[in-house]
Structure 1
Amino acid sequence: MYRLVLILALLAAGPALANPDRWRAEWPGTDFSHTAISDWDEIQSGGPPRDGIPAISDPTFLRASDETRLGGREPVITVEIDGAEPRAYPIRYLIWHEIVNDSIGGIPVAVTYCPLCNSGLTFDRRTAAGTLSFGVSGKLRHSDMIMYDRETESWWQQAIGTAIVGQLTGTELPSLPSWMESWDDFRTRHPDGLVMAEPAFTRDYGRNPYRNYDSSARPFLYSGENPPHGINPLARVVRVGDSAWTLERLRREGAITETGVTLIWHGGQASALDKARIARGRDVGSVRVRDGAGQDLPHDVMFAFAFHAFWPEGRWMLAE
């Protein structure tokens, strides 16, 4: 029933609300005269209102050895910063909260996950305007979450880490290396590492409210072009900068080195957007991306339609 209500809410929301005049009462601090958006119809309500999906700030952590809730194949976003203890942010929490405002080794970070695009990115929250904290606006553009900062109420596109509406329009958040991997991978590598503890909200953590989404024929609230080359809109791709490799190709080859970038795939991570329980999702595997010196690179494992929407001139790294 919850899934049906969610789908109906998403499909009912539409471009009729795509008018900044309708948003001013809810967003009195947002300067709508500054924007990178040429067509307001691209912005739609995702269903929940502002902060209806509550972001987490200053989360608490457990030692990996003390965590008993997570299944071994469950996905986590891993952040490893030199001089700080490695941290894992379980998707079972991010799928309900989408943003975690944290600080790692003195660096204020936003760990983000947009289920509708499968986009999981970590940003440095420091800007020329100061350190920002982020919430979930309830708005979508090309099916991707629009975040907002609490300091200026500017709106930010999660997939590209850039402000698109408000005082800070055009400001880019620095991306930090992070990756999605299985809980087993993280705790094997870091048995004394830190894992985000269960938030103090009433949620059925571990359940997937987007059951079967990544096998759907069409993304929710997306009316843009399909990806080229016959690629399924909901196929996963590994994005590095403005280039994308299909996960299917990487899974088939195991490792790819091209344009100075090395991508490596191995099995064992469950899809968070497949079965009713995240831990039971089909195996989509884990990806690491490194440069020629072996350093981890910022990247995203997102759906193909989202890559095409935000990088329409992007490079598709197809097998010859």
Structure 2
Amino acid sequence: MRWSLGLILGLSLGLSAAAQGIDPTAGWPNTDFSTATVDLSEVHSGGVPRDGIPALDAPRMIPAGEETALEGAEPVLTVALDGAPARAYPLRYLTWHEIVNDMVGDLPIAVTYCPLCNSAMVFDRRVAGEVLSFGVSGNLRHSDMIMFDRQTESWWQQAIGEGIAGVHAGAELAQLPGWLESWDSFRQAYPEGLVMAEPRGYRRPYGRNPYVGYDSSGWPFLYSGEQPPHGIDPLARVVRVGDQAWPLERLATEGSVAEAGVTITWAAGTASALDAARLAEGRDVGQIRVRDGAGRDIPHDVMFAFAFHAFWPEGIWMLRR
């Protein structure tokens, strides 16, 4: 199914009305909702059923030099952990699957992407000594994907990596360093790296954008919360580190910012995955790296401003000084 901006906005209005009076816990008999840490009235159907967006397990990885389908400006989510070749997870696949359960050496990871919040995060899948695997519930809260683990059917909020209902309510997933960059940038930095190959067995128009024009629309899908403060557009991108957010517009202007114990650098050359009909033709939104004082990559997210405000209402906005 190809979603246009008009269809997204139309669904938003229809689903918002339909969601009133519908029990979001229906169809989840194995999830203990008495443990919920959030107001379940904030949860709405995203328009697809449980597993309607199929998460992937143990994806095929191929050498970067053998990849011929990706175009240079296409965004990939890079995972470069010590002791293992760097891996690139193209958004042309994550857009349609949203979760990839993978192993990097002995480390089980979940590579996640919520297009509606532009939130791309990598998590350690180990919780309390158990390795979890994740699927897409089909539900949203503040327009952000609610994941579920297949072992206990607990619900997890992707943007914060936290269990919100079920056995693991209140548990937190450890976020790992990962960053969005262009395919050209990845293969230049990691010529011996690996890239996720096109998934087999799915009829998806990989490389096409089902959310055409979304990141230049006026309001997010199925979101009824507050506007971000300081006059920031709801769908403006911000770089979140902990409970602090730097507007991407500021970083693009300044090029590099060193404050609050981190250094954030911006470079041109990466296409938006939520703009043009073909991902490779999306407008240039650039790419960032976030490092600590020792030059090590640290966990962060590049999300929409409305999502940062929704999940960190007391968060700190790092505006121009």
Sort the TM-score into its range (normalised by shorter chain): over 0.9
Q: SS in structure 2 opposite 1:206? A: coil
Quote the residue 2:278 is aligned against: 277
Distance 2:243 2:29 in 1: 35
Q: Percent identity?
A: 64
Per-residue deviation at 1:29?
1.1
Give unmatched runs, 5+ long, in structure 1: none
In structure 2, the CA distance between the partners of 1:163 and 1:49, relative to structure 1 (3 Å rule), is same
Tell me if the contact between 1:18 and 1:42 (Cα under 8 Å) persists in the aligned partners.
no
**Paired AA for residue 77 in structure 1:** L
Quote the residue 1:158 is aligned against: 158
Per-residue deviation at 1:14?
2.6
CA RMSD of aligned residues (A): 1.4
Quote the residue 1:227 is aligned against: 228
Tell me if the contact between 2:53 and 2:97 (Cα under 8 Å) persists in the aligned partners.
yes
Distance 1:182 1:5 in 2: 28
Question: What is the aligned length?
Answer: 318
In structure 2, the CA distance between the partners of 1:230 and 1:73, relative to structure 1 (3 Å rule), is same
1:1-320 map, 5 Å = 2-3=3-4, 4-14=6-16, 16-17=18-19, 21=23, 23-24=25-26, 26-37=27-38, 39-128=39-128, 130-200=130-200, 201-320=202-321
Tell me if the contact between 1:74 and 1:270 (Cα under 8 Å) persists in the aligned partners.
yes
Per-residue deviation at 1:88?
0.2
Per-residue deviation at 1:17?
3.8
Q: Deviations over 1:20-75 (max 9, x none)?
A: 85634x112111111101x3221000000000000000100111101000010000
**Paired AA for residue 11 in structure 2:** A
Q: Deviations over 1:163-217 (max 9, x none)?
A: 0011110000000000000000000111121000001111000000000000001
Tell me if the contact between 2:25 and 2:33 (Cα under 8 Å) persists in the aligned partners.
no
Give unmatched runs, 5+ long, in structure 2: none
Q: Deviations over 1:1-21 (max 9, x none)?
A: 742555433432236546785
Distance 1:209 1:185 in 2: 24
In structure 2, the CA distance between the partners of 1:2 and 1:242, relative to structure 1 (3 Å rule), is closer
Distance 2:20 2:156 in 1: 16
Per-residue deviation at 1:302?
0.4
Tell me if the contact between 1:137 and 1:148 (Cα under 8 Å) persists in the aligned partners.
yes
Distance 1:125 1:34 in 2: 21
Distance 1:92 1:11 in 2: 27
Tell me if the contact between 1:19 and 1:40 (Cα under 8 Å) persists in the aligned partners.
no
Tell me if the contact between 1:209 and 1:276 (Cα under 8 Å) persists in the aligned partners.
yes
